[in-house]
Amino acid sequence: MLSRLSLASLIAAAVLVPAFTSAAEADPSSPSLETITVSARPALSDAFTEVGALTTLSGELVEGLAPVHGQELFVRVPGAWVSRGSGQEHLMALRSPVLAGPGACGAFLLLEDGIPLRPAGFCNVNNLFEMNLAQAAGVEVLRGPGSALYGGTALFGAVNVFTPAPAADLAAPEGMIQAELGPWSYGGLQGQVAAPLGEERILATFDVVDTDGWQDDTGFRHRKGSLRAQGQRGAWRHDFQLSGASLDQNTGGYVVGEEAFADATLRNTNPNPEAYREAYALRASLGLERDLPSGAVLGLTPYARRSEMEFLQHFLPGKPLEENGQDSVGVIARLTQAGERWRGAVGVQLEWADTWLTQRQDGPTVGSAFLVATRPEGQHYDYAVESTLAAAFYDVSLDLSPRLTLVHSARLEQLRYDYDNRMLAGNTRDDGTACGFGGCNYSRPEDRNDRFTDQAGRLGVVYGLSAHSQLALTASAGFRAPQSTELYRLQSGQTVADLRSEFVRSFELAYGFARDGFTLSLTAFDQRAEDQVLRDAEGFNISAGKTDSDGVEGQLSYAIYPTLTVAGQVTYARHRYAFSRALGRGEAIQEGDDVDTAPRWLGSAQLRWTPSDALSVELENVTMGDYYMDAGNTARYDGHRVWNLRGRYALSDQLTVALRILNLADERYAERADLAFGNERYFVGQPQRAHLSVRYDF
pLDDT digits (tens, 9 = 90+) for 624-683: 999 999 999 999 999 999 999 999 999 999 999 999 999 999 999 999 999 987 889 999
At 52 the pLDDT is 54
Whether 35 contacts 338, CB under 8 Å? no
Phi, psi (rounded to 5 degrees) for 369? -60, -35
pLDDT tens-digit profile of 42-53? 322 233 444 458
Quickly count: other Cβ atoms within 10 Å of residue 213's Cβ: 20
At 102 the pLDDT is 74
pLDDT tens-digit profile of 574-588? 999 999 998 877 789
Please state, rounded to an integer, the average pLDDT across all residues of the chain: 90
- Among 216, 187, 215, 193, which residue's Cα sits nearest to residue 205? 193
Whether 502 contacts 155, CB under 8 Å? yes
Global pTM value: 0.91
Asked if pLDDT for residue 27 goes beyond 50, the answer is no
Asked if pLDDT for residue 12 goes beyond 60, the answer is no
At 619 the pLDDT is 98
Whether 56 contacts 33, CB under 8 Å? no
For the chain, domains (ranges, CATH) are 7-697 (2.40.170.20)
Q: What does the DSSP assignment read for 388-441?
A: EEEEEEEEEEEESSSSEEEEEEEEEEEEEEEEEE-S-SBSS-TTSPPPSTTS-S
Contacts of 594 (CB under 8 A, 6+ apart): 574, 575, 576, 577, 600, 627, 628, 633
Rounded Cα distance, 520 and 513, in Å: 5
- The region that residue 590 occupies, defined by phi over 0 for left and psi between -120 and 50 for alpha, beta otherwise, is beta
Rounded Cα distance, 26 and 626, in Å: 31
At 11 the pLDDT is 28
Rounded Cα distance, 398 and 525, in Å: 24
- Among 403, 416, 299, which residue's Cα sits nearest to residue 43? 299
Torsion of CA 106, 108, 112, 116, to 10 degrees: 30
Rounded Cα distance, 589 and 583, in Å: 7
At 608 the pLDDT is 97
Rounded Cα distance, 440 and 10, in Å: 54
Asked if pLDDT for residue 34 goes beyond 80, the answer is no
Asked if pLDDT for residue 40 goes beyond 70, the answer is no
Rounded Cα distance, 94 and 77, in Å: 9
pLDDT tens-digit profile of 516-532? 999 999 999 999 999 99
pLDDT tens-digit profile of 258-285? 999 999 999 999 999 999 999 999 999 9
Q: What does the DSSP assignment read for 517-585?
A: TEEEEEEEEEEEEEEEEEEBTTS-EEEEEEEEEEEEEEEEEEEEETTEEEEEEEEEEEEEE-S-EEBGG
Rounded Cα distance, 181 and 339, in Å: 53
Question: Stretch 162-191: mean pLDDT, rounded?
Answer: 95
At 31 the pLDDT is 31
At 646 the pLDDT is 98
| CA 187 to chain CA centroid, nearest Å | 25
